[in-house]
Every structure is written in C-alpha cells, then in structure tokens.
Amino acid sequence: ALAFTGQDLTKIYRTGETEVAALRGVDMSIVAGEMLVLLGPSGSGKSTFLNITGGLDRPTSGKLFYRDLELTALSERELTRFRRRHVGFIFQFYNLIPSLTAEENVRLVTDIAEASMSPAEALALVGLEDRAAHFPAQLSGGEQQRVAVARAIAKQPAVLLCDEPTGALDSATGVRVLEAIEQVHRALGTTVVIITHNAGIAAMAHRVFHFRDGDIVRIEVNQSPVEPG
C-alpha cells in the first residue's frame, strides 16, 4: 500500500525579484511501512520535499495524496488536523521545553492526541525509561534527541519525518538515535523518511531517493537494509 503519492510537485520560492525552483515536477510514491532516505547536495530540495509531504508547507503546483486523501485540496485547518493526527517530525535541534522533565515534554503531546501511548511507553521505546524524571539540561544531546523521538511517536503517527536527526550529534551518539528510530519503525510499523548526509544511514533504508536540482534523479532499492550500529 502507498502512504503518499505526489504528482508533478513543484515548489517556487519568490523573494522580491528572484525565484528559486526548489522542486521541479517531482513524481513520487512512499510505501506504507518503508524506511526511506533522502540524499543529495545542500539546496537540492530535500527539506522542501519533506515539509510538503508532512503538510508543513504546500507545493506551488502538483497534487499530493496521503492514501486517498488529497492533501493539496485541503483547507489550512484540515491540513493542520492531518498533520497533528498522522505526522511526527524530528529536526536537527530537539526543541524540548527546558523547564519540563522528559516525561512532561512527551505528555504535552499525549494529552492532546486521540490515539496515543503513555509517555512512559514512548520513553521505553527509545530506551529512556530510566530518564523520565530528568530535565533536558541533565541529559546528553543524544538522549535529548531520543526524548524528541519519543515525543514525535507518542501519538503513533502514520509517518515519522526526520530532517537531519543526527546532524548535531557525534557518530556514536547519532547511532543510538538511529537505533531508537529503527526500533520505533519495527515496533509500530511507522513509515519513516530521513534526510541525512550520512551514507551509513542510507544503508539502513529500504529505498534511497537521490535529489539533485529540485528533482529525484535516482531511486536506489536496498535488498537487505542493515541495522544501525
């Protein structure tokens, strides 16, 4: 089954006189339950693609579907509802609230989401059950990012979108974060899309979309994705 389908997705950014084509007629599909990596040079359109897929941004033209639902036909309010229900985001910087413990940071999401696991369950999935009462400043960068993973998946989103999730971490720490994402992917069957500059992460993926100049120029299919570590 397909999670997302995109047809002729174009994104033009206009700033004053200048126009930048961030996406140039991208056709794509994302398979439900796959782990997909987006690779390509800086400025090739990966973040734009990820943000449009997750409903954080809209294409200038083209159609985007989540299953049978045409996201490009939704109102702002409907798109926000789609995002809240179905999409988890992880960015390079974890953006935890410093005055709240790990558990309280996750609880912010579980309190408002409809289908959710408990904060304790989410923290256990990323291997942080013994850090629930810690504040962000008492956690390492990698642990903070794993709290961010727990927060993103506690509402059991259909898809987890990660924009350079290990970009601010050293390799050993980054591996632990990837293991946490992989664990979530396995345990919950979550579709995962990861932007990375790290070739090691690409080896974990079912497929790799290679971006260049606003388009997907090659799709690599990985017969035997390796486990992180």
Name the site residues for ligand ADP (rule: CB under 6 A): 13, 15, 20, 22, 40, 42-48, 164, 166-167, 169-171, 174, 196-198, 211
Nearer to ligand ADP, 33 or 141 (CB): 141
Q: Name the H helices within 45-170.
A: 46-53, 76-86, 102-110, 119-125, 141-153
**What minimum distance in Å lies between the beta carbon of 70 and ligand ADP?**
22
Phi-psi region of 24 (alpha: psi -120 to 50; beta: other; left: phi over 0): beta
Dig out the tokens for 104 from the structure. 């309280």
Specify which residues 7 forms β-bridges with. Answer: 63
DSSP string, 52-69: HHTTSS--SEEEEEETTE
CB 11 within 8 A of CB 19: no
Q: What is the smallest separation between the CB atom of 19 and ligand ADP, expressed in angstroms? A: 9
In the bound state with ligand ADP, the residue whose beta carbon lies nearer, of 15 and 224, is 15
Longest dimension (CA), the chain: 54
CB 100: neighbour CB atoms within 10 A?
14
For ligand ADP, the closer of residues 70 and 170 by Cβ is 170
Taking the least distance from each CB to ligand ADP, the nearer of 150 and 202 is 202
Task: Output the DSSP codes for 159-221.
Answer: EEEEESTTTTS-HHHHHHHHHHHHHHHHHH--EEEEE-S-HHHHTT-SEEEEEETTEEEEEEE
Which residue, 176 or 185, has its beta carbon nearer to ligand ADP?
176
Q: Which two three-digit tokens encode residue 151?
A: 């927060």
Q: Residue 85 and residue 155: Cα distance in Å, rounded?
A: 7
Cβ at position 145, least distance to ligand ADP in Å: 10
Residue nearest to ligand ADP (CB): 174
Closest distance of CB 141 from ligand ADP, Å = 10
Min dist. Cβ of residue 120 to ligand ADP (A): 28
Residue 207 or 210: the one with the smaller Cβ distance to ligand ADP is 210
Least distance (Å) from ligand ADP to the CB of residue 40?
Answer: 6
